[in-house]
Amino acid sequence: MHVKIHGGTAPGDASSLCYSCRYATIVRGSRLSEEVIECSRVSNDQRITFAVKFCNKYSDRAMPSLDHMEDIAWILRTDVKRKQVGFVRPTDLQIQVANCFRDE
């Protein structure tokens, strides 16, 4: 019978979350024992001296960040004068906003 325990001790062979986190700086030497991991999300760039199994500030570097997704997102706008609805790139929206302020 297989029993799965949630929130228990993590398996010892699992790698550290730091290896795939966007906030980790990992420096390795030529020997296996030569490794320094620093986290920019922990106060004062603390060095991590153990394999991290859970971190509430973890951000997978393989996934796009929220800032990146906001930069590439399209914005749905309605133009009341032309009675049109459509998507606008954020860069085009910034140009439109700048032009609105220029007309005043």
Domain range for 18:
1-61
- Tell me, yes or no, whether 4 and 49 share the same domain: yes
Separation between Cα atoms, residue 40 and residue 101, nearest integer Å: 39
- pLDDT number for residue 12: 56
For the stretch 62-83, pLDDT in tens is 998 888 887 777 777 777 777 7
- Tell me, yes or no, whether 56 and 70 share the same domain: no
- pLDDT number for residue 65: 84
Separation between Cα atoms, residue 22 and residue 7, nearest integer Å: 24
- Tell me, yes or no, whether 71 and 54 share the same domain: no
- Tell me, yes or no, whether 44 and 2 share the same domain: yes
pTM across the whole model:
0.54
- Tell me, yes or no, whether 13 and 29 share the same domain: yes
Number of domains comprising the chain: 2
Percent of the chain at pLDDT exceeding 70: 72
- Tell me, yes or no, whether 92 and 50 share the same domain: no
- pLDDT number for residue 3: 66
- Tell me, yes or no, whether 75 and 49 share the same domain: no
The tokens 């960040």 sit on which residue?
65
- Tell me, yes or no, whether 35 and 73 share the same domain: no
Q: What is the mean pLDDT of residues 49-69?
A: 87
- pLDDT number for residue 77: 76
The residue that leads in pLDDT, 78 or 48, is 48
pLDDT band at residue 50 using 50, 70 and 90 as cut-offs: confident
- Tell me, yes or no, whether 52 and 27 share the same domain: yes
- Tell me, yes or no, whether 95 and 76 share the same domain: yes
- Tell me, yes or no, whether 43 and 70 share the same domain: no
Task: Give which of 62, 33, 61 is closest to 49, Cα–Cα.
Answer: 33
For the stretch 81-94, pLDDT in tens is 777 777 777 677 66
Task: Give which of 100, 69, 75, 99 is closest to 88, Cα–Cα.
Answer: 75
